[in-house]
Structure 1
């Protein structure tokens, strides 16, 4: 069972939140960060301290607010001689990619816009959905957080609910060597990093399934865009029926139209199997994370939906009780503040149930077929 220790991330100059033993004579450091509120200051400080090179890969990079601070930091790094490489997605950063490119290149940085909208004419529809900041092969930030003001708290607004990991140690050196190598699997001690490449995210999905199938006590799972396939639904319901406590923290409101309908059509199936469902409504849920048996953490950019199987994604596994306990506390806190969904609430009128099933199924099937189409196009290249 997990321990009830307070989650207090430490500053970069302080004592690490967790020291993970690896080979004799070395350690891996792993810090769990709560949204942009905790991640952005540490990321900006890492950029300011960069000596040799910076690699930033992000789906959405906003121009204003915190995005302007990141842009200024990257420009300053490039001008003092640091090799700066930035990759943004052509769809996720559609309104800002031209300005970012012009500004960064003028400072001497390298910039790539992954599959800009014009590439749709050539059939390249897959996206780069990764969120990676790597500095000097010494410190890396991976998770679900884009660069934008929505991901940080502002007064009483908690910001989008999301998580990231700050990693230090040999895993960062490995990451630097594999960033352009397509699909990669990296491991250093209890920390593993999966990068999906041309083959898509099927291996990342398998990590989730293996963790759920091996669960003995508890599965805590928070996912923003939850459109699991039949095999994944069965894995969760099997776990619940064999006595594992399965808790889903899902989006009570979404930034993607009709996404909730596709998720809600599965509520009855889950609830009848004994799965606990809670909807986060205080802000937009954007996390993609799971904790199994208080020992095993999965977190990254990888959504449990068909499109993440064909996009470029990341997933980090940490098999260390201290870090997993911190993530479980984050999940418990959000579950406690979320709306509990019970089976009676799913018993709407026949017309309402029919409309929900039709809309939800249509969204799910469209996502599956679109992902299948993208996958076939990628395999031909």
Structure 2
């Protein structure tokens, strides 16, 4: 259960892009003594996926209990050899809602398992937005993603560990069984590793449908000096936009870092529809122009910050399964501010009202009317979509491993296609 409470005594370190994240995760798996649990939306069979594959195999062969959970929509094209290379040495590979294809197309678009979590021995955890694919490395080229994660030690890891164990049990048995039978061993008591107060916040389609958005709004309401939000897919609900406008009007320095070179053009189009509304209230908007921005981070004033998997768009806020770490720590806030400030100064273009003046004012009014009402009502409308509880299916029981043989895979286009979810 996600209790949304502050836990002190933790150490937290910001990891930027795959260059910092992947070596740390792979080494942690190789050093695991008892258990390694990995949840991810995207796992591709490229050089990064093969390194993860090798680390998990090595750990399993040493007797470590290794669990891998992937999403059926985000990771659809793994070969039979890739999966059997894991299961043959004892790795438990589970697929969240594998779904079926119709004429080669994936139909299981909504309510995805979008979390990115790693827990090692119940003592070390990683949470963030980075998937296991080569497009999170700089040598991928102009489409390499800019992204963030955190490494955690301390008492918060016990809560994250319990959460992923429940996710495995619930996914395999169903909600009724979970309520009646699930009993987990108490979390391993962790010594204090640092001074950071942390909260592990998740979003699901049952009891925690708006927890992440609620924490964002509360922090925005409390902000007195500055708000910086860097988010890849930005089209939040009306209430969050209203809080940002109110903060700017009361004198808070509100800055948004959004995609200027998006992986999908519709992302920039959707966000830009809000620009007039935000700029008019005094919000400053920066477009990150070096390559696609994939981060989901924010900071408020000099202590509060968050890093995780949740975008600020309809899919993340109203449909997907997400996880964020919320932080109260001045030192971490300062590090994150330095990284964001560097982006704004060296890699972003600030959007000015004059840049938008060429648009016909009548069209702008019409568009603003429809955007306003879309933001106001989409959470309720999306919430009416079926709330089935997708099961975790052993990989060998799905058709993931046969799709390359049937010509239904799309390994080259998958990264751009799937991460929109």
TM-score range, shorter chain: 0.7 to 0.9
Query: Does the CA-based 8 Å contact 2:110-2:319 persist in structure 1?
Result: no
Q: Are residue 224 (structure 1) and residue 232 (structure 2) matched?
A: yes
- In the other structure, the counterpart of 2:183 is none
- In the other structure, the counterpart of 1:293 is 301
Indicate how the Cα distance of structure 1 residues 370 and 267 shifts in structure 2: closer, same or farther if over 3 A, else same: same
Indicate how the Cα distance of structure 1 residues 105 and 247 shifts in structure 2: closer, same or farther if over 3 A, else same: same
- In the other structure, the counterpart of 1:134 is 119
Deviations along 1:333-356, whole A, 9 cap, x unmatched?
Answer: 111120110011112332995699
Could you tell which deviates more after superposition, 109-118 or 171-180?
171-180
- In the other structure, the counterpart of 2:42 is 60
TM-score normalised by length of structure 1: 0.84
Higher relative contact order (CA 8 A, sep 6+): 2
* CA drift at 1:96: 2.1
Could you tell which deviates more after superposition, 67-76 or 153-162?
153-162
Q: Equivalents in 1 of 2:150, 2:47: separation in Å?
A: 23
- In the other structure, the counterpart of 1:10 is none
Query: Does the CA-based 8 Å contact 1:237-1:274 persist in structure 2?
Result: yes
Indicate how the Cα distance of structure 1 residues 86 and 156 shifts in structure 2: closer, same or farther if over 3 A, else same: closer
Q: Equivalents in 1 of 2:361, 2:261: separation in Å?
A: 22
Which runs of structure 2 are paired with 1:271-286 in the superposition (5 Å)?
271-286=279-294
Match of 2:213, SS?
helix
Match of 2:138, SS?
coil
Q: Are residue 95 (structure 1) and residue 98 (structure 2) matched?
A: no
Deviations along 1:304-341, whole A, 9 cap, x unmatched?
Answer: 11111221100101100000110111111111120110
Which runs of structure 2 are paired with 1:281-360 in the superposition (5 Å)?
281-308=289-316, 309-336=318-345, 337-350=347-360, 357=367
- In the other structure, the counterpart of 2:14 is 32
The count of corresponding residues between Structure 1 and Structure 2 is: 353
Q: Equivalents in 2 of 1:154, 1:122: separation in Å?
A: 32
Which runs of structure 2 are paired with 1:1-381 in the superposition (5 Å)?
27-96=9-78, 100-118=82-100, 125-154=110-139, 159-181=144-166, 190-199=197-206, 200-308=208-316, 309-336=318-345, 337-350=347-360, 357=367, 361=371, 371-374=382-385, 376-378=386-388
Deviations along 1:119-161, whole A, 9 cap, x unmatched?
Answer: 9999783100000011101110101110111112229869311
Match of 1:29, SS?
strand
Query: Does the CA-based 8 Å contact 1:142-1:166 persist in structure 2?
Result: yes
Q: Equivalents in 2 of 1:44, 1:66: separation in Å?
A: 10
Q: Equivalents in 2 of 1:98, 1:334: separation in Å?
A: 41
Q: Equivalents in 2 of 1:97, 1:242: separation in Å?
A: 55
Query: Does the CA-based 8 Å contact 2:11-2:153 persist in structure 1?
Result: yes
Could you tell which deviates more after superposition, 45-54 or 200-209?
200-209
Match of 2:388, SS?
helix
Query: Does the CA-based 8 Å contact 1:261-1:356 persist in structure 2?
Result: no
**Structure 1: runs of 5 or more not aligned:** 1-20
Could you tell which deviates more after superposition, 253-262 or 234-243?
253-262
Q: Equivalents in 1 of 2:108, 2:43: separation in Å?
A: 24
* CA drift at 1:38: 0.7
Query: Does the CA-based 8 Å contact 1:224-1:285 persist in structure 2?
Result: yes
- In the other structure, the counterpart of 1:11 is none
Q: Equivalents in 1 of 2:81, 2:379: separation in Å?
A: 34
TM-score normalised by length of structure 2: 0.76
Query: Does the CA-based 8 Å contact 1:32-1:166 persist in structure 2?
Result: yes
Superposed CA RMSD in Å reads: 3.2
* CA drift at 1:107: 1.7
Indicate how the Cα distance of structure 1 residues 22 and 252 shifts in structure 2: closer, same or farther if over 3 A, else same: closer
Q: Equivalents in 2 of 1:195, 1:99: separation in Å?
A: 33
Query: Does the CA-based 8 Å contact 1:201-1:313 persist in structure 2?
Result: no
